Amino acid sequence: MKKTLAALIVGAFAASAANAAVVYNNEGTNVELGGRLSIIAEQSNSTIKDQKQQHGALRNQSSRFHIKATHNFGDGFYAQGYLETRLVSAQSGTESDNFGHIITKYAYVTLGNKALGEVKLGRAKTIADGITSAEDKEYGVLNNSKYIPTDGNTVGYTFKGIDGLVLGANYLLAQERHKYTSTGAGAGAGAGAVAGEVYPQKISNGVQVGAKYDANNIIAGIAYGRTNYREDIINGSDSSKKQQVNGALSTLGYRFSDLGLLVSLDSGYAKTKNYKAKHEKSYFVSPGFQYELMEDTNVYGNFKYERDSVDQGKKAREHAVLFGVDHKLHKQVLTYIEGAYARTRTTESKKGVKTEKEKSVGVGLRVYF
């Protein structure tokens, strides 16, 4: 008991490289606590949906807390449990500073072997999450989950037995289902709902595979996913008929280590199959860079061109750019300034051309623990 207590006290003050503190380490069991508090002051304006909006805000920016427990069995085998919570806005009320509620973002268990790879079960990131190379703190212009889901209820396998190479595969299961059977009539969102059924336009199931190589100054990655959605054919909305998305993401980059410069090119393609409606196609390309300006100071940015189209129908083109600078005040304290601008031009027969713009700039501070 004294030995265990001593290990607990000493470990509580030992910080790991991943911004976590080891609070228990004894007889093959390791427990880490970590997270960050992150605040951003921002100014933004937009012309989305024909409305001019401008506002400033001081809000939470993805503050989080996690706990990770690892049990080593010997011979390289281990089991791990991970729980991460986030602060978000309350579902009811008028507060929009993202401090209202605590939610579970990730919760999963892992069984693995250092040489054979690991199997992960629960709500977790998928292999598609880490494919692209673009850096951002808040206003990321890439929407990777539009092409392949980057997290969800999943059974996944990851192999890291070759230096610099990550191979992965995930099977996604439905995460959002009706809790109760609806007895009401009409065309409301809950009309005709049956307990256990997947919510309309939410994931029913999906599969994805991917690989990423990051070594010898070269970065290369690719992922493919097929995701099935439950279409909403009761309400009859054209925007609620999505059935299946076949998508791919890729990245290619080179790190000039002598210059402290990384240049990259991210891209994606998706084809959306709709219920009794024309199919949609989307793609994007995004060149970007990350540059170490001086010790503890980095500059980063990327440009994106994205196009969505329906055969002989609606077409949308988006140009977006992001630029940011971050600086470490301490190994556990990061400050940054970041801005983004996006312009979307939509062409639709009988409705003409519509242009929408979004601009945002923010100054943030993160304190890790």
**Domain count for the chain:** 1
Closest listed residue to residue 113, CA positions, set 82, 76, 156, 79: 76
In 10 A of CB 364, how many CB atoms? 20
User: How big is the CA angle at 189 (ends 184 and 192), to the nearest 5 degrees?
Assistant: 40
User: Which parts of the chain sit beneath pLDDT 50?
Assistant: 1-17, 186-188
Q: What is the CATH classification number for the domain harbouring 76? A: 2.40.160.10
How distant, in Å, are the alpha carbons of 12, 79, 110, 166 from that of 163?
31, 22, 21, 8
pLDDT value for 242: 78
What is the tens place of the pLDDT at every residue in 231-290? 775 655 555 577 899 999 999 999 999 999 999 999 999 999 887 778 899 999 999 999
Query: Which are the contacts of 279, defined by CB distance < 8 A and separation ≥ 6?
Result: 271, 272, 273, 310, 311
Residue 191's pLDDT is: 58
Reported residue count of the chain is 369
List, in order, residues 6 or more apart from 5 with CB less than 8 Å away. Answer: none
The CA distance from 302 to 282, in Å, is 19
| Continuous segment of H or E residues that includes residue 10 | helix 2-11
pLDDT value at residue 95: 60
What is the C-alpha separation between 147 and 214, in angstroms, rounded?
22
Its pTM stands at: 0.87
pLDDT for the residue 323: 98
pLDDT tens for each residue of 15-40: 333 568 999 999 899 999 999 999 99
Torsion of CA 170, 173, 175, 180, to 10 degrees: -170
Full domain range(s) for residue 99 = 2-368
Q: Characterise 361 by phi-psi region: left (phi > 0), alpha (psi -120 to 50), beta (else).
A: beta
Q: Rounded to an integer, what distance in angstroms lies between the CA atom of residue 71 and that of residue 50? A: 55
In whole numbers, what is the pLDDT of the chain averaged over residues? Answer: 87
pLDDT at residue 70 in the model: 97
What helix, strand, coil percent values describe the chain, rounded to 5?
5, 65, 30
